[in-house]
């Protein structure tokens, strides 16, 4: 559990239902390093949609979907400005849902002041006020404000201490890597999107497949289907569904009879995209999925990530092919490096544009990768000389006084005889023994 202190100059506010000031704290800004970056000043169209979207992003941050709890406050959302659009992101307390609200240039009419990432304060009174934003006219939006006035009683900034579990931090970061395997699998128009979302059962679970003009939930996976578990986790879309132009479903490729996987759901609104990414099950967070362990354990990926990290300047899109050309790496290495950066909380992945974007999580980002327990334990096993390479495929790893045999199958997948693998059968990434074997192989005979 890590405690982070989020500091704001004053609470975010909404004056006259027309002037929304979102206070910022921490993070990074490209043009002018500051504790309270200013990213945008101007007008937004569709004020009711923007206000409701922001409210739902904050709601997800305060939700614990597994226990169906919704608290007054969660971890403050993160906003990223890439000079073109604003992305507001939050991550549920249970670690199984990520929400993102993209304000595209279609609704933004003002000046983008800077690029970077920071926390924004969406407090409980503001959340309530956001419900009162009328649909007509324009809304003046300030993301960040000048730091001249301190309105708290003691004249100091507002400090909010939040406890961030390592699971939460890792989940937020690893969800990006999982999303990078997704592709668009289906789309509904606004009317059928409303029908689908409002008719979902409370605890719906299954595979979403087309049925006529709409979708239905099937009991088993088929190519092209998208997994949905814990359909109540899509409830944040319901207040917005009246404005929907389309609903799009994204997921990884699956074969017939596949097991649960994560998915992403995009509600296309006028000038705004609201995206929810769901873990494979309401009881599972993203942190345990082991999404990037293979990449992290791959030799050289961390060094490549450092090199690519130096090239990040809050570009709107990070194209692996362009980056590969720029630094003379193969596209595959660049992708592995981007996976490492995602796990380190330095880049996000936008499924709607199928591209990475820079987003340095305004937390102790360096600790995110370090905190991966399986990787850490695997490194400890290698350091302790617990790994014996038997042949190209098989290795023996001594752990807790037991010998576990890991092997690489003909199809490239891995397996182990440990209890963890037996329980999950590879559905949550490699176990620490498989990772240790991979690390030992990379290090050569000396290991």
Contacts to another protein by CB under 8 A: 59, 62, 68-72, 124, 127-128, 131-132, 134-136, 191, 194-195, 197-199, 201, 203-206, 211-214, 216-220, 222, 235-239, 241-242, 256-257, 394, 402-405, 407, 415-419, 421-423, 425
DSSP state of 53: H
Range 60-70 burial, b when 16+ CB lie within 10 A, else e: bbbbbbbeeee
CB of 262 to another protein, least distance (A): 20
Query: How many helices and strands, by DSSP H and E, does the chain display?
Result: 12, 27
Task: Report in angstroms how near the CB of residue 219 gets to another protein at its nearest.
Answer: 4
Q: Exposed/middle/buried for 411, CB within 10 Å: 0-12, 13-18, 19+?
A: exposed
Strand, helix or coil for residue 269: strand
Q: How far is the CB of 313 from another protein (least distance, A)?
A: 39
Q: CB-wise, 317 or 407, nearer to another protein?
A: 407
* Whole-angstrom distance, CA of residue 373 vs CA of residue 167: 10
CB-nearer residue toward another protein: 148 or 400: 400
At closest approach, how far in Å is the CB of 148 from another protein? 29
Measured in degrees and rounded to the nearest 5, phi and psi for residue 156 equal -100, 175
Output 109 or 419, the one with its CB closest to another protein.
419
Between 205 and 317, whose beta carbon lies closer to another protein?
Answer: 205
Q: Which two tokens stand for residue 351?
A: 């499924």
Give the neighbor-by-neighbor strand order of the sheet with 205-211.
214-218, 205-211, 226-229
Q: Which is nearer to another protein, 86 or 194 (CB)?
A: 194
CB of 198 to another protein, least distance (A): 5
CB of 211 to another protein, least distance (A): 4
| Closer Cβ to another protein, 109 or 131, answer by number | 131
Share in percent of the chain as helix, strand, coil (round to 5): 30, 30, 40
């Amino acid at each position: 559990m890590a405690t982070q202190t989020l500091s704001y100059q004053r609470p975010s506010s909404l004056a006259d239902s027309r002037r929304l000031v979102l206070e910022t704290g921490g993070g990074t800004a490209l043009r002018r390093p500051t504790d309270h970056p200013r990213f945008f000043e101007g007008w937004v169209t569709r004020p009711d949609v923007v206000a409701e979207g922001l409210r739902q992003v904050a709601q997800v941050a305060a939700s614990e979907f597994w226990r169906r709890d919704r608290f007054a406050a969660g971890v403050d959302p993160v906003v990223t400005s890439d000079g073109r659009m604003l992305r507001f992101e939050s991550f549920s307390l249970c670690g199984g849902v990520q929400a993102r609200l993209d304000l595209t240039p279609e609704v933004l009419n003002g000046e983008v002041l800077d690029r970077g990432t920071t926390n924004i304060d969406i407090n409980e009174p503001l959340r309530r006020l956001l419900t009162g934003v009328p649909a007509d006219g324009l809304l003046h939006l300030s993301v960040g404000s000048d730091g001249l006035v301190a309105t708290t009683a003691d004249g100091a900034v507002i400090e909010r201490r939040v406890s961030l579990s390592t699971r939460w931090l890792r989940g937020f970061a690893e969800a990006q890597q999982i999303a990078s395997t997704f592709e668009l699998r289906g789309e509904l128009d606004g009317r059928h999107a409303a029908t689908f979302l409002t008719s979902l059962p409370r605890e719906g679970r299954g595979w979403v497949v087309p049925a006529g003009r709409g979708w239905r939930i099937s009991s088993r996976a088929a190519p092209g289907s998208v997994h949905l578990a814990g359909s109540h986790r899509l409830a944040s879309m319901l207040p917005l569904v009246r404005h929907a132009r389309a609903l799009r479903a994204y997921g990884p490729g699956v074969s017939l009879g596949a097991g649960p996987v994560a998915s992403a759901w995009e509600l296309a609104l006028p000038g705004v995209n609201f995206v929810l990414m769901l873990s494979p099950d309401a009881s599972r967070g993203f942190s345990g999925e082991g999404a990037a362990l293979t990449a992290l354990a791959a030799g050289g990926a961390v060094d490549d990530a450092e090199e690519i990290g130096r090239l990040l300047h809050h570009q709107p899109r990070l194209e692996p092919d362009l980056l590969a050309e720029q630094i003379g790496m193969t596209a595959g290495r660049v992708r592995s490096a981007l996976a490492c950066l995602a796990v380190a909380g330095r880049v996000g992945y936008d499924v709607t544009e199928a591209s990475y974007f820079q987003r340095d999580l305004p937390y102790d980002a360096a600790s995110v990768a370090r905190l991966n327990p399986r990787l850490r334990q695997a490194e400890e096993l290698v350091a302790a000389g617990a790994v014996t390479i038997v042949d190209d495929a098989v290795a023996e790893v001594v752990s807790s006084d037991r010998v576990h045999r890991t092997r690489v199958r003909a199809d490239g997948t891995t397996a182990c005889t440990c209890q963890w693998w037996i329980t999950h059968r590879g559905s949550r990434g490699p176990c620490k023994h498989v990772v240790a074997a991979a690390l030992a192989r990379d290090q050569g005979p000396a290991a």
